Each structure stands twice: as C-alpha cells, then as structure tokens.
C-alpha cells in the first residue's frame, strides 16, 4: 500500500483501487483496503483523517459518495471504514478533509516543539500523547510548574515566529546509531525522523506543517499532576484562536457584570467572593436566630420525646447546629425538614438513644426517600407533604 500522505502532506484528492473489502460483523461496518491512500490512519496518539470516497455505483454513470468514518492501520495495512460495500477492483476517488488534516498538523507540530523544549531544558520525556478532536495532552515523566511551562510556551512561540523548516528524513540504520532523537519505541529501521532545527528531533509517523510559522500560535491551557509527572494540555493554531475568543467573551461578560476593567476581573471576583462570604455569615446568624425562635415553640422534653420542625429552606450548618444542641435534651428523634409540599423536603434527623436508620427505612419504604447516615444521625431528601411525613413516621 502506497502512503501518499508521506509524499505530499497537502494532497487532498487522489485515485486508488479497492484491493479488499471486509465486513466487520462486530462493528457492522465495511473495512476497505486501497492500493494507495492519502488518508492518515489513527496512529501515534493521533486520530485518523476523515473525508469521502466516491465511486461509480454498480458500474453505472451514477456516482456514490461515502463518508470515511475512520481509518486504522494494522500490520502496515490501512483499513478505511465506510457504511457500504465497495467491490474489489473498483476505482475510487478519495477526498481528504483538509481543515481537519491541517488542524492536526498544527497541533502535532506544536506538540513536538513543546516536548523538545521540555526534554532539552528539564530532561523529561514525553511518555504519553493524545491528539483528539478537542484536546491535545502531553504526559511528562517529571514535575513542571506552571511558571516553568510558561517559559517553555514563550520559547515555543519564538520557534513559530522564526518560521523554521520542518524537515522529514529517513536515516539509515547506521546513521540512526549516531543520532540523538526522541522516541517512545526502540526503532532500528525505516524510521521517519521529524526535525525542527534547534528545537526537536523525534521519530514520528504523522503529517506535519512545512514550516513552524504555519502552526500560528502555541498555547498551554492546563497542567495537572499525573502518575508522578504532569499532564499538559495545549492548543495550537486555530484551536488556540477559538479558545481565546471563548475566554475573551467570558471576560467581556464578567467585566460588564462586575463593572470593572477586563484586566481587573480577577480582583473583582475576589472582592465579590469576600462580600458573599460576609453576607453568608450574616444570613447564617439570622437563620440561627430564626431556628432558635422556632425551637422555642417545640414541645418540651417533658411533654414529648420527639422534637421535629418544618421550616423554609435554610443552610445545612445552621440546621445541624440546632439538632446537635437539641439531641441531648430529648429521648427520641430531633429533626428538621426544610422545603415545601410541592418540591419535597430535605432533612437531618438525630437521636441520642434511638437508631435513626429505622426512621430512614420508613421514609425510604413509603416515599422512596434518598439519603443515608448512621445510627446517631441521618440526612437525605424526600418527596412528600408535611402531613404525609407526620402521619407515616408517627413521631409527632
């Protein structure tokens, strides 16, 4: 099989002959083998090209066009996945989705620059790579801070601005012995080397841009700990531009909502958080006062073993504090149900002498209540009216 994407990465249309067409019973799809193809298959951490295959229908003058759903390589044979059978010896015209191909080229070449720089400055290896439709992730076997990655990002974009050539070579086995290049596999022959002068030399099977300037921009968007090292997310080219547009729109909206300049929205959010925290403290104090007044209307421990309140929605902490205060005083259940008859109630129930799980079982059996807890205290939610809850539990 001739891999045309290696001869001309910009080739978007080609003609080929079907040499095999296999029906995959498991996937309910046809796997077509061509004598030559410009479609890059899923390989090296990168998802496959897509596009179309067009051919004459039943040897007539009419043409059928099938979308290429996927492409995989096994034992150096590329299988093209389509929904319909294409007879052997049929001549097809393939059309590669160039927007998708070029996007992948931008992402993959940008990844090479970042990985090469990290290896050069910190000695870490790229031990995992995934190029999907939205995410590009790089896994390094060492820890990098966000500040260190920002430095790598700056140097990577310098490589873009230099518009360096991206060189593809196939060194001999003897030449490989004297070369220093990155590779996850121990390769000895038919090795395709991608070189970005001064930045990276790496064994790679994927299509790349002709020059680094075609990458457009390289942006690191996230970093997190991963298996003793870090997982880094990057976006290149148009993906980076689209990401910036989304974030700029968000910055516009936040800036307008907070009435602050865009470069001060971080400070504005912090001030809003502080204000909300102070307001929440005030609300909690007021809720505590309300609950104390409502608790004063409860039957005394001498009048009843149980103390149950139904209240409007309130903060969990204030309710839990009230229950903790009342539990030692009553021999039975102490609980608060907050909500309404239409939407149901949340609840917390405690007891110093009874097993609250028995009450939870009743609520679960009668009303399919959800929740859990231990013998001293349970919590959950139940869709029922106040009257139903009072009647079924029998604790009022």
| 27, 9 Cβ separation under 8 angstroms | no
| 119, 126 Cβ separation under 8 angstroms | yes
CATH number at residue 182: 3.30.980.10
pTM value is 0.80
How many domains does the chain contain in total?
Answer: 3
Are 106 and 195 contained in the same domain? Answer: yes
Are 299 and 359 contained in the same domain? Answer: yes
Residues in the chain with pLDDT < 70?
59, 393-396
- Distance, CA of 134 to chain centre: 9
pLDDT at 185: 80
pLDDT at 189: 77
Q: What is the DSSP letter of 262?
A: G
The residue range of the domain holding 82 is 2-96
| 110, 236 Cβ separation under 8 angstroms | yes
The answer to whether position 257 is within a domain reads no
Using alpha carbons only, give the angle 367, 368, 370 rounded to the nearest 5 degrees: 120
What proportions of the chain, in percent to the nearest 5, are helix, strand and coil? 35, 30, 30
| Domain boundary residue, one of 217, 233, 248 | 248
- The half-sphere exposure of 42 on its side-chain side, counting CA atoms within 13 A, is 13
Q: What is the pLDDT of residues 282-310, one digit of tens each?
A: 998 999 999 999 999 999 999 999 999 99
Q: What is the DSSP letter of 38?
A: -
Based on its alpha-carbon atoms, the radius of gyration of the chain, rounded to whole angstroms, reads 33
Q: What is the pLDDT of residues 3-48, one digit of tens each?
A: 999 999 999 999 999 999 999 999 999 999 999 999 999 999 999 9
């Amino acid at each position: 099989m001739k891999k045309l994407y290696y001869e001309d990465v910009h080739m978007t249309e080609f003609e080929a002959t079907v040499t095999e067409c296999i029906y995959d019973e498991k996937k309910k799809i046809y796997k077509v083998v061509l004598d030559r193809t410009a479609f890059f298959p899923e390989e090296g951490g990168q998802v496959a090209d897509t596009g179309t295959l067009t051919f004459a229908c039943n040897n007539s003058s009419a043409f059928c066009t099938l979308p290429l759903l996927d492409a995989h390589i096994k034992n150096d044979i590329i299988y093209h996945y389509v929904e319909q059978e294409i007879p052997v010896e049929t001549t097809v015209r393939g059309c590669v989705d160039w927007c998708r191909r070029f996007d992948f080229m931008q992402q993959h070449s940008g990844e090479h620059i970042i990985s090469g720089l990290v290896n050069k400055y910190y000695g870490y290896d790229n031990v995992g790579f995934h190029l999907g439709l939205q995410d590009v992730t790089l896994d390094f076997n060492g820890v990098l801070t966000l500040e260190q990655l920002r430095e790598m990002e700056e140097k990577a974009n310098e490589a873009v601005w230099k518009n360096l050539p991206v060189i593809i070579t196939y060194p001999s086995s003897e030449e490989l012995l004297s070369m220093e290049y990155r590779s996850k596999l121990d390769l000895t022959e038919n090795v395709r080397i991608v070189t970005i002068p001064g930045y990276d030399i790496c064994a790679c099977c994927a299509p790349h841009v002709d020059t680094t300037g075609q990458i457009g921009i390289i942006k690191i968007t996230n970093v997190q700990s991963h298996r003793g090292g870090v997982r880094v997310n990057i976006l290149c080219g148009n993906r980076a531009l689209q990401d910036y547009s989304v974030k700029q729109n968000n910055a516009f909206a936040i800036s307008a909502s907070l009435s602050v300049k865009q470069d001060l929205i971080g400070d504005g959010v912090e001030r809003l958080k502080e204000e909300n925290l102070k307001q929440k403290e005030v609300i909690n104090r007021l809720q505590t006062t309300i609950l104390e007044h409502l608790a004063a209307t409860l039957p005394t421990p001498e009048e009843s073993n149980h103390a149950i309140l139904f209240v409007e929605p309130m903060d969990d902490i204030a309710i839990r504090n009230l229950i903790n205060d009342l539990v030692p005083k009553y021999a039975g259940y102490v609980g608060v149900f907050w909500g309404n008859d239409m939407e149901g109630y949340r609840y917390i129930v405690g007891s110093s002498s009874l097993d609250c799980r028995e009450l939870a079982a009743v609520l679960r059996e009668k009303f399919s209540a959800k929740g859990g807890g231990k013998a001293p205290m349970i919590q959950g939610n139940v869709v029922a009216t106040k009257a139903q809850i009072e009647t079924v539990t029998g604790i009022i």
